[in-house]
Structure 1
Amino acid sequence: MSGRRDYYHDPAAPKANSLVPGGSALVTDEAGRVLLQRRADSGNWALPGGTMDIGETLGQCIVREVKEETGLDIAITGLLGIYTDPQHVIAYADGEVRQEFNITYLGRVVGGGLAVSDESTEVRFIDPTEFDQIPIHDTVRLRLRHHAEHRDIPYLG
């Protein structure tokens, strides 16, 4: 199943050899449910997002990635936080070991329709009361917790 493995504050983690700018979007609906996708590579539920392409801003990247991964068009409405913990590395099957570099924006749906991509097995809005019953990586749980705290300023970490 896995083309990637996340290590988080794990002394057995391999040493990072890559740093790639990327981001994700925390998008909610009118009921306060959060848009999540079940990743095909890990089985975990995660925020939609990805890495930047040359020639685009990070905001454009996030709008593009959310469309590709969920079928939804979004508008960026704010910044949840910056997540660059060197103790979170992602090891890929090809030998790349990437240090986390994720800027998480807030967003709202402005069009499109929910659709699964080749990167996910399921996409839906999930009520926060369900988060404890589904597999979510600790780093995504941190973002969900920051959102639930209704912080006045973005997380800078």
Structure 2
Amino acid sequence: MSDKWLEWAKRIQALSQSGLSFSKDVYDIERYEELRTISAEIMQEYTDLEMMKIRELFTNESGYQTPKVDVRGVVFKDNKILMVREKVDDKWSLPGGFCDVGLSPSENIVKEIREESGYDVTPVKLLALLDMNKHPHPSQPYHYYKIFIQCEVTGGKERSGIETKGVHFFEEENLPELSIGRNTETQINMLFEFLRDPSKETIYD
């Protein structure tokens, strides 16, 4: 029940955003604005975020609220997995990030891996499509889906990017401190199952 407040706040925000996007009635718009304010007040009460920052997060959204999509690249070499060190928290994650408009998931991960690690890759298999809410990630203001795509290195060379400060391949038994907002140890262990069993079916949820 500890994170139930966050679920309520996100649902209220999603409903208010949809209402503001499609309603034409001035009184309904007023009510939806109030709902959005209530959701922001809930977020402020239970987090360290300032109201101005929360309002920016919520008011920058428009249209019907849907989950955001985060794509992560899974690259194996010599029974190790490719990870990058994030500048923002000095911890490690699979290369990746939010999907850009106009690019497919596979095009996005090729771009992200090149930018964050220096390697050129070819996507070969969708390993998992996970709902962030069903995994022990830190609480987030939005609802996210996470896509894990296995890729093979075709060129390039190890090189940090604008958002990363290290590139390394790690053994499953010797993982670094993880950036758990991006990936958890359980998820990394799950991905190694595909290395041991290439015929393993895609995991979802």
Q: Specify the code of the residue in structure 1 equivalent to 2:96.
A: G
Q: Does 1:124 align with 2:173?
A: no
User: Which residue in the other structure is 2:25 paired with?
Assistant: none
Q: Does 1:39 align with 2:31?
A: no
On the 8 A contact 1:89/1:99 being kept in 2, the answer is: no
Stretches of structure 2 that go unaligned for 5 or more consecutive residues are 14-64
What is the deviation of 1:69? 0.7
Q: Which runs of at least 4 in structure 1 moved beyond 6 Å after TM superposition?
A: none
What is the deviation of 1:38? 1.1
The TM-score, its normalising length taken from structure 2, stands at 0.61
Structure number with the bigger relative contact order (C-alpha 8 A, sep ≥ 6) is 1
- 1:1-157 superposed matches below 5 A: 11=3, 14=6, 15-16=9-10, 19-29=67-77, 31-86=78-133, 88=137, 91=140, 97-131=141-175, 134-136=176-178, 137=180, 139-150=183-194, 152-157=200-205
User: Which residue in the other structure is 1:4 paired with?
Assistant: none
What is the deviation of 1:89? 5.6
On the 8 A contact 1:116/1:123 being kept in 2, the answer is: yes
What is the deviation of 1:126? 1.4
CA distance in 2, matches of 1:43, 1:98: 23
Q: Specify the code of the residue in structure 1 equivalent to 2:130.
A: Y
On the 8 A contact 2:172/2:189 being kept in 1, the answer is: no
On the 8 A contact 1:53/1:61 being kept in 2, the answer is: yes
| C-alpha RMSD of matched pairs (Å) | 2.4
CA distance in 1, matches of 2:82, 2:145: 21
The TM-score, its normalising length taken from structure 1, stands at 0.78
What is the deviation of 1:90? 5.6
Q: Specify the code of the residue in structure 2 equivalent to 1:37.
A: V
Which structure shows the higher helix fraction?
A: 2
Which structure shows the higher strand fraction?
A: 1
What is the deviation of 1:99? 2.1
On the 8 A contact 1:39/1:121 being kept in 2, the answer is: yes
CA distance in 1, matches of 2:99, 2:113: 13
On the 8 A contact 2:72/2:149 being kept in 1, the answer is: yes
On the 8 A contact 1:13/1:89 being kept in 2, the answer is: no
Question: Which protein shows a greater Rg?
Answer: 2
Q: Specify the code of the residue in structure 1 equivalent to 2:144.
A: E
On the 8 A contact 1:146/1:155 being kept in 2, the answer is: no
Matched positions, count: 141
CA distance in 2, matches of 1:53, 1:47: 17
- Shifted more, 141-150 versus 9-18: the winner is 9-18
CA distance in 2, matches of 1:62, 1:10: 34
On the 8 A contact 1:80/1:104 being kept in 2, the answer is: yes
CA distance in 2, matches of 1:10, 1:69: 35
